[in-house]
Homo-oligomer: A and B are copies of this chain.
Amino acid sequence: MLAVSRKLRLSFFEVRGLQCIRERPIVHVTEIRLRVTQALVLVAGLTLNAQTLAQGDPLPSWNDGKAKQSIVAFVKNVTSKGSPGFVPPAERIATFDNDGTLWAEQPMYFQLAFALDRVKALAPKHAEWKDKEPFASLLKGDLKGALAGGEKAIAEIVMVTHAGMSTEEFERIVREWLGSAKHPKSGKPYTEMTYQPMVELLRYLRANDFKTYIVSGGGVEFMRPWVEKAYGIPPEQVIGSTIKTKFELRDGKPVIMRLPEIDFIDDKEGKPVAINKFIGRRPILAFGNSDGDLQMLQWTAAGGGTRFMGIVHHTDAEREWAYDRKSHIGRLDKALDEATAKGWTLVSMKTEWKRIFSFEK
């Protein structure tokens, strides 16, 4: 899959390279124009295969249904010069939720799985956890009992596993976990639990000069170590929840320490607030999968002009999971009503996606 993606990206560069040749001011001199044209025709022939690959079907894992058609129509509309919906490249901001939108979130948020594994790894150094909730239940394998303490219990688990180290140490811990942990259902590394159709969509948007962002309720420093490789999204385009951090000199060496205190929860009303703070432009496309994304979608929709609001709907119990209005994880209820009322694009996994994970045959 990676080899294919590199090839595709290369071919986009090639096509764009040719466009930039055409934009040279060479048309003023007839002799040059002729030679360049001859060369272009021949070069164009050489790159035809790549071009077909890239332009023929940029979304091969999508069925040719309503969702794919509306995406392609939107992209053509905002990128065609002279089109009523044309948007200059600098303003082509696209924001994506992560959990349940770009990768799976069942049977539990993957970051929670990370936290639980970390509790186990740290337990030998914390004898006191044997008698202290939520750790005692957790270490006995009783997840339900551990989470019975509600948000306070979750916050305690998150803080002992996510704070108290430098940002560099935390990055190393995340990388190590990703290198060994496996998803309980598929047995695959978590970074392979990404949705192939969405990876194609991100690539398609970038090939059309969109700037793609993650805007997730997950921790920003939990995502940055792996999302560039998984989605092609660089660290500076990842927005997420944060804990407070502190700059200090440790033996004269500057470090940024992670503190056990919530800084910002990037969910619900927090998403447009963070988009405004970090990006300072309103997205023209946003994709989510749950009520936690509703305000981001509303903020995007209210921008005027051509906009695209998309929702991944988990409808495929066989290939993935089926859940919406009553789920504790990724509940999709109010946003489902609003999407229906306002004509946002609902992407039913079962009908719209030919393939969900890249490891499927």
CA distance A193 to B242 in the complex (A): 36
The answer to whether A43 touches B17, judged by C-beta atoms less than 8 angstroms apart, is: no
Contacts of A93 in B (CB 8 A): 236
CB distance from A251 to the nearest CB of B (A): 12
The answer to whether B46 touches A26, judged by C-beta atoms less than 8 angstroms apart, is: yes
Q: Give the contacts of A211-228 with B (CB-CB under 8 A).
A: 211, 220-221, 224
Contact of A29 among B46, B167, B298 (CB under 8 A): B46
Contact of A279 among B14, B211, B235, B254 (CB under 8 A): B235
* A interface majority secondary structure: helix
Contacts of A246 in B (CB 8 A): 269, 273
The answer to whether B236 touches A256, judged by C-beta atoms less than 8 angstroms apart, is: no
Number of copies of this chain that the complex holds: 2
Which of A14, A39, A246, A272 is most buried by chain B, counting CB atoms within 10 A of its CB?
Answer: A39
Q: Verify if A245 is at the interface (C-beta below 8 Å from B).
A: yes
Contacts of A302 in B (CB 8 A): 253-254
CB distance from A249 to the nearest CB of B (A): 8
CB distance from A358 to the nearest CB of B (A): 24
Q: Verify if A63 is at the interface (C-beta below 8 Å from B).
A: no
Contacts of A31 in B (CB 8 A): 42
Interface flags, A5-24, vs B, CB<8A=1, else 0: 00000000110011011011
Contact of A299 among B20, B90, B254, B270 (CB under 8 A): B254
CA distance A31 to B39 in the complex (A): 9
The answer to whether A298 touches B36, judged by C-beta atoms less than 8 angstroms apart, is: no
Q: Verify if A38 is at the interface (C-beta below 8 Å from B).
A: yes
Contacts of A39 in B (CB 8 A): 26, 32, 35-36, 39
Q: Verify if A106 is at the interface (C-beta below 8 Å from B).
A: no
The answer to whether B235 touches A281, judged by C-beta atoms less than 8 angstroms apart, is: yes
Q: Verify if A328 is at the interface (C-beta below 8 Å from B).
A: no
Q: Verify if A234 is at the interface (C-beta below 8 Å from B).
A: yes
Further 6 A-B residue pairs, CB within 8 A, beyond A236-B279, A245-B273, A254-B295: A21-B21, A167-B276, A242-B277, A247-B269, A253-B302, A256-B272
Closest 8 CB pairs of A and B: A235-B280, A247-B269, A17-B20, A36-B39, A35-B39, A236-B279, A32-B42, A247-B272
